[in-house]
Copies of this chain bind each other. A is one copy, B any other.
Amino acid sequence: MYMKNPVELFKVLSNETRLDMLKWLKHPMEHFDQPAELLSKSLNERGGICVGDITEKAGLSQSTVSHYLTMMQKVGLVESERHGKWTYYRRNEERIQEVAAFIEKEL
């Protein structure tokens, strides 16, 4: 079981907005339903959502949201992919299951 720094991970998880973001990214279609002509902007081929859309949904500043996403990426909860001007973020489901397994067996 690999869990390098549980404290950092839990710090990232101890914020309402960041938890919301994980939830939104779990079901992007439900939370980011846009007109069809905008879908190509919002959703890349693997379901990632761009920072701008997440910012709008979160109701916080762009800098804060970008910072949050970077934190989440650093502990492996999400991964990102840049396409042109946009950076798309999506959940790292494997990592999330690792976290669950860590708590179940090692906490």
Contact = CB atoms under 8 A, between A and B. Distances in A.
From DSSP, what is the main secondary structure of chain A's interface residues? helix
Interface string A82-107: 00000000000000110111011001
A100 B104 contact: yes
Interface of A: 6-8, 10-11, 13-16, 19, 22-23, 96-97, 99-101, 103-104, 107
A18 B100 CA distance: 18
Contacts of A13: 6, 10, 13-14, 107
Contacts of A19: 6-7, 107
Nearest to A11: B14
A38 to B, nearest CB: 28
